[in-house]
Structure 1
Amino acid sequence: MVAEIAAELTVGQLAERSGVSTSALRFYERQGLIHSRRTAGGQRRYDRTTLRRVAFIRASQSVGIPLALIGEVLGFLPEGTPPTKAFWVRASQCWSDALNERIAKMERMRDRFTACIGCGCLSLEECALVNPDDALAAEGPGAHLLDATAQRRRARRPRGPAGGR
């Protein structure tokens, strides 16, 4: 006798089949990555195609694609339509440049870090990792913030009446 395959899955069944926690599935739903219908009792029911969407989400996350970008791409799929191999190929092509850029950045970081370990100077004046191109020299003598973003945020804060913060 062949067991009947349910057209819909509960959140627990989806979690068990996908290996993703129920809380993560609810989060994906709040983010619009997956969709469910509610029963009369308010329970979630997911179409079986949701398994493929969850697999697509997890595979995309595993290579570092942010959920916002995953959601944009999934937005091209009609609801209830699972990602196909052709869909994955198109998504991969869309993300290829961003992934290659990340890889290059990570390689540069690795090379800088390796050079820093090899140098052993730990000097804020000379260190290519902490102070690339001696950027802090332009700030004049004394201690300076190494994070330019934090420095810009501090510069935008309103000052009090005596010039303090």
Structure 2
Amino acid sequence: MPNPSRQGLLTIGEVASRTGLAVSAIRYYDDQGLVAARRTPGGKRMFLRSDIRRLSFILIAQQMGFSLEEIRIQLKQLPLERTPTKRDWEKISRGFRSHLDARIAMLERLRDRLDGCIGCGCLSLEACKLYNPGDRMRETGTGPRLVLQKQADE
């Protein structure tokens, strides 16, 4: 095989160095189809430079709490065979934006309601007698509904 660096390919060690990910994590993402390593005749994994961006996106998305399946769905919109364009990344960011907006709204509800009734049905706080007298919220479902569900006034 010709010199990989002349073809614009990077070794897994070079990709690890550039992304800060462990080699084992990069192998895992490759095995999961989130990136697509090229193989040398000897089986060595080689990566396009554009895989650095894909792997960095995976790292960021995981730190934001997205599951690998959610990340996979978004990454399917990006080409594996070429470097993604600005338009490609704009498309994927629109999909992620709606998920992020929903998470931000839920975090704001959590922040704003955590010191009061969260709608869990425990009736242990004095304020729950005001928010949920007689545990009437049990009729609407289970769990911390005041935090998890968007209210009509929002």
Q: Shorter-chain-normalised TM-score: which range? A: 0.5 to 0.7
After superposition, give the CA deviation of every residue in 1:8-37 in whole Å (9 maximum; x if it has no partner).
111111101111111111111122110112
What residue number does 1:17 align with? Answer: 18
Structure 2 distance, partners of 1:94, 1:65, is: 13
SS of the residue 1:46 aligns to: strand
Structure 2 distance, partners of 1:10, 1:63, is: 28
What is the TM-score of this pair, normalised by structure 1? 0.64
Query: Looking at CA atoms only, which structure, 1 or 2, has the larger radius of gyration?
Result: 1
User: How many equivalent pairs are there?
Assistant: 130
Counterpart of 1:102, as a letter, is: R
User: Compared with structure 1, are the counterparts of its residues 36 and 113 closer, same or farther at alpha carbon in structure 2 (3 Å cutoff)?
Assistant: same
Contact 1:15-1:21 at 8 Å conserved across structures? yes
Counterpart of 1:13, as a letter, is: E
Structure 2 distance, partners of 1:5, 1:41, is: 16
In structure 2, list runs of 5 or more residues that go unmatched: 145-154
In structure 1, list runs of 5 or more residues that go unmatched: 117-122, 139-145, 149-165
What residue number does 1:68 align with? Answer: 69
Identify the range of structure 1 (28-37 vs 89-98) with the bigger mean alpha-carbon deviation. Answer: 89-98
* Greater length-normalized contact order (CA 8 Å, ≥ 6 residues apart): 2
Query: What fraction of aligned residue pairs are identical, expressed as a percent?
Result: 37
Counterpart of 1:94, as a letter, is: G
SS of the residue 1:9 aligns to: strand
Counterpart of 1:125, as a letter, is: L
Query: How much is the aligned-residue C-alpha RMSD, in angstroms?
Result: 3.0
What is the TM-score of this pair, normalised by structure 2? 0.67
What residue number does 2:151 align with? Answer: none
